[in-house]
Structure 1
Amino acid sequence: MENVRAKKHLGQHFLKDLDAAKRIVDLYQDKNSNKLVLEIGPGMGVLTQYLLKREELDLVLVEIDTESVAYLKKNFSIAEDKIIEGDFLKMNFEEKLQVSGNQKFGIIGNFPYNISSQIFFTVLDHKDQIEEIVGMVQKEVGQRIASKPGNKDYGILSVLLQAFYDIEYCFTVLPGAFNPPPKVDSGVIRLVRNYDKVLDCDFKKFKLVVKTAFNQRRKMLSNALKPITTKEIPYANKRAENLDYLQFVELTKLIFETA
């Protein structure tokens, strides 16, 4: 079979730099005890070939592109039930992976740029199962997720993910490493679940406060949060980008849990 044709509507840019592929796989440290790891969007298997050499891993591929699925089945010795043709964003993990509600697993992949943020919001929905993520995304998305308070890149995903994960921006990959080359640089990030971080408030309310604060990020919090509270709040004269996740927890508790 010939190489898979990259499809623009799926955001496909196939990594061809083998050194970069191996570095990405080497970053995955296998923190989850049952060894299950999902590769999202394996395409033609440039990461897959190195993941399969990690015999300790129970690898499952999730690929939405029918042509890529056919390529993977022909070119790799992978059991039929280890290749899931479908949309990661719509996956029922318990049904597709045969995992119980508390079973842990990890995620790795060269994530399509057009859904990378959605992938991380899905991770948040399953934060008590997903223990480690190594992913390649658009460089500015990776920098945003890893950014610290006070930085212009710091945003909604930064706060929400940092409330549960330790995050590291690992390295940059230039456009020439892909076929077809994207118009932007890419970045590889690694997230590891930190169970010492305990969210001392309701997550949905926490997310609402964070999103509302950043929806008008140039405004002071006293004005940005007016849609959800009329209370006097701490940090009223600060902007959302200046607060860490613990300060957002404090705001959430004050807004929703005090009379």
Structure 2
Amino acid sequence: MLSRDGEAVVRQHIPRKRFGQNFLNSPGVIRKIVAAIAPRPGDLMVEIGPGLAAMTEPLLEALGHLHVVEIDRDLIAGLRQRFTPEQLTIHEGDALVFDFGAMGADLRVVGNLPYNISTPLLFHLATFADQVRDMHFMLQKEVVDRMVAEPGGGEFGRLSVMLQYRFHMERLFIVPPGAFTPAPKVDSAIVRLIPKAAGELEPCDGEVFARVVTAAFSQRRKMLRNTLRELIDEAALVALGIAPTARAETLGVSDYVRITRALSAD
């Protein structure tokens, strides 16, 4: 039960733009998200940005114990009034710098991610993929569409390549603005990320791979012979079966891996 003090926190809390706060308020959507996550007793799970505990409570009912990462001290006060330490372990701080690796193996990560930091947060979380079982996030639909996009379209970009290299991803369903308070101006979507097994990963130098992908997409309208000229020459691209006149969005993840391997072999 929520105490009077806890109710006051919920009632009085004003969503803060600097934290990108949009709170879920639709019981039907919450049930659908929790069903997609399918929490089980004993799962090691961390929720990023629990906010007013819309998902926290039903997750706890299934799990028994949950970790959360929250930056807003007012919201943390409400969580402490509402849940016991045996139910909820609260990690106060910024998810962008939080060490998810310290939590242990077979970690499940969930959350309604702030739109204003979604891309850097996804890249940060990807660094812990070896210890993660799965991740389920609510994100701006446009971001999810970019994550799962196929090569050749305008939505396919750096985010697509970097995440598709490391994860299997699936857009599950769309969430309308009316499911939030305050209502955002755009649709949201739920996405599932499952880390690829070691045998599925194409070996390559991660730092070089990131540098290649970043350079290729730095100027989308330019050909690879221009965007990658500081890294690899046209003859080397041709030798890899990649047209120097191609643009970044036309290459698949495997193409970027081949470029990376060629550079690492030099």
Report if the CA contact (8 A) 1:34-1:105 is conserved.
no
Give the distance between the partners of 2:243 and 2:263, measured in 1 at CA.
13
Counterpart residue number, 1:6? 15
1:113-124 aligned within 5 A:
113-124=115-126
Q: Check the 8 A contact 1:169/1:189 in 2, yes or no.
A: yes
User: How has the CA–CA distance of structure 1 residues 231 and 238 changed in structure 2, closer, same or farther, with 3 Å as cutoff?
Assistant: closer
Residue 107 of structure 1: CA displacement?
A: 0.8
2:67·2:91 contact (CA, 8 Å) conserved in 1?
yes
Distance of aligned partners of 1:81 and 1:135 in 2 relative to their CA distance in 1, 3 Å threshold? closer
Give the deviation of 1:235 after TM superposition.
3.1
Aligned partner of 1:87 in structure 2 is 94
Q: Please list, as runs of the form range in 1=range in 2, the aligned pairs for 1:187-226 lying within 5 A after superposition.
A: 187-195=189-197, 196-226=199-229
Amino acid at match of 2:29: A
SS at match of 1:87: coil
Q: Deviations over 1:100-123 (max 9, x none)?
A: xxx231210100111111111111
Give the aligned partner of residue 37 of structure 2: 28
1:60 corresponding residue in structure 2: 67
The change in CA–CA distance for 1:106 and 1:5 in structure 2 (over 3 A counts) is same
Task: Give the number of the structure whose residues are more often helix, by fraction.
Answer: 2
Question: Could you tell me which of 55, 72, 95 is aligned with 1:47?
Answer: 55
Task: Describe the shift of the 1:151–1:30 C-alpha distance in structure 2 as closer, same or farther (beyond 3 A).
Answer: farther
Residue 190 of structure 2 aligns to a residue whose secondary structure is: strand
Q: CA RMSD in A?
A: 2.0
Match of 2:141 in 1: 139
Residue 111 to residue 209, structure 1, CA distance change in 2 (3 Å): same
Using the size of structure 2 for normalisation, the TM-score is 0.88
In the alignment, is the contact (CA less than 8 A) between 1:231 and 1:255 conserved in 2?
no
The structure with more radius of gyration: 2
Q: Distance in 2 between the 1:87 and 1:10 partners?
A: 10
Distance 1:118 1:143, change over 3 A: same
Q: What residue number does 1:109 align with?
A: 111
Residue 72 of structure 1: how far off its partner (Å): 1.3
* Structure 1: gaps of 5 or more residues: none
Count of residue pairs the alignment pairs up:
251
Cα distance in 1 between the residues matched to 2:61 and 2:106? 21
Residues 165 and 193, structure 1, Cα contact 8 Å, conserved in 2: yes
TM-score (norm 1): 0.90
